[in-house]
Amino acid sequence: METLKLSCLCGSITRSIDIPKSSLPIPITFCHCGSCRHVTGLFCVSNIFLPSTSDHTYISGEPRAYKTSAEVTRFFCGQCGTHCYLKHIPSGLVGVASGVVDKIEDVAEFKAHAYLTDTRDGGLSDWLPLKRWEGWPHQSKEIQPGTNVVAPRPADSTQTSEARLRCRCHCGGVQFEITRPNQNSSNLSSPWPDMLVPFHQEGRENATDEKWWLRPGGKYLAGICACRSCRLGSGYDMQPWAFIPKVNILQVDGKPFSFSMGTLKRYESAEGIRREFCGRCGATCFWRSDERPDLIDVSVGLLEADTGARAEEWLDWCTERVSFEEYAQSKSMISNLSKGLKAWGKERA
């Protein structure tokens, strides 16, 4: 048997899982459906569906349950927000979030992207080459290599205007809007993010006070983080962040943004580091720090851009580096993602 240890970010939820070695590696499909995106705040989810012969050992903690449909219940830590696992009710299958286990390389293999029509633009599948499917693999049409994922804009679009972008979690307990940059968007300072200047390099303090979060065309910088805290914070291996000044985040009624609004819950993952998530559905929402309190990391899966999951009319994606790539647990997958990002960036330059 192969033993996996499962833990959330704060350590409240822990489990031990024994899997028959004959079942390894377990194939993983990235699900890009709208429910998975909004319930996590990510581009997609990657769950390890356990063989029925696996043994589960309870160690500590009881997660909160949230139903995304009549068929699927998801379980997350009510203290730190980590998505730990889900249950598919009709089949009884349990899918463990790939980012919460203590090892992944020899246990599972990332094989495909599913439900890409929900993304309307392909999401991160253009950066991570795998088989791509409109719906679930082998139950829908395969999207051939080199073919763009293009789906019509939703008829029930909630985007209020070109000047504001609506954002929400799955349950709707957290809703807000992002505005275009204005004169106040540059009235703050911040060190360089790791994706632009690696954390261990000199010059990170941004002595020239570059406003790196503001990009041409009225856009904001966005990128992918693979650090341990972000992996365990969401439960999955890749965390997409958009860097938005707090002055450009509003409540849906136009009032100034507040971290106490709606169903937001806060977890301090390190001294001076705060992470907000929805206390009802578990969606990752924000990251912020005392080092730059007026510049907020917003989880991109919450955005409801009409053009698609990448929200390219609002975001300029960093393609030169996956933040904290060297600390990734799924090293081969993150390495392939990094290569794909760079290639995508060069093609569009």
pLDDT in tens, 122-155: 999 999 999 999 999 999 999 987 777 766 665 5
pLDDT at 55: 85
What are the pLDDT digits (tens) for 260-311? Answer: 999 999 999 999 999 999 999 999 999 999 999 999 999 999 999 999 999 9
Q: Where are the domains of the chain?
A: 2-143, 164-347
- Dig out the tokens for 179 from the structure: 């505005």
Kindly indicate the confidence band of residue 157, based on its pLDDT and cuts at 50, 70 and 90: low
pLDDT at 290: 97
d(CA 163, CA 170): 23
- Dig out the tokens for 53 from the structure: 């012969």
Residue 332, H or E segment: helix 331-348
Among residues 202, 197, 223, 214, which one has the least CA distance to residue 322?
223
d(CA 261, CA 61): 27
DSSP 3-state of 232: helix
Confidence check: pLDDT of 197 > 80: yes
The vertex-159 CA angle with 44 and 43, nearest 5°, equals: 10
d(CA 295, CA 292): 6
Peptide bond into 25 cis (omega under 30): yes
- Dig out the tokens for 346 from the structure: 């060069």
d(CA 150, CA 127): 16
Judge contact between 291 and 191, C-beta under 8 A. Answer: yes
pLDDT at 348: 87
Count of beta carbons in the 10 Å neighbourhood of residue 283: 31
pLDDT at 112: 98
Residue corresponding to tokens 């309190």: 293
Count of beta carbons in the 10 Å neighbourhood of residue 6: 22
d(CA 280, CA 278): 5
Among residues 342, 326, 324, which one has the least CA distance to residue 239?
324
Among residues 155, 243, 260, which one has the least CA distance to residue 206?
243
Judge contact between 269 and 229, C-beta under 8 A. Answer: yes
Burial class of residue 348 (count of CB atoms within 10 Å of its CB; 0-12, 13-18, 19+)? exposed
pLDDT at 153: 62
Looking at residue 100, the DSSP 8-state letter turns out to be: S
Do 2-143 and 164-347 come out as alike in CATH topology? yes
Judge contact between 298 and 285, C-beta under 8 A. Answer: yes
Confidence check: pLDDT of 318 > 70: yes
CATH code: domain 164-347 is 2.170.150.70
Looking at residue 185, the DSSP 8-state letter turns out to be: G
Looking at residue 10, the DSSP 8-state letter turns out to be: S
d(CA 71, CA 48): 17
Amino acid at 319: T
pLDDT at 154: 59
What are the pLDDT digits (tens) for 39-87? Answer: 999 999 999 999 988 887 878 889 999 999 999 999 999 999 999 999 9
Fold of 2-143: 2.170.150
pLDDT at 155: 55
d(CA 96, CA 248): 36
Give the largest Cα separation in the chain, rounded: 60
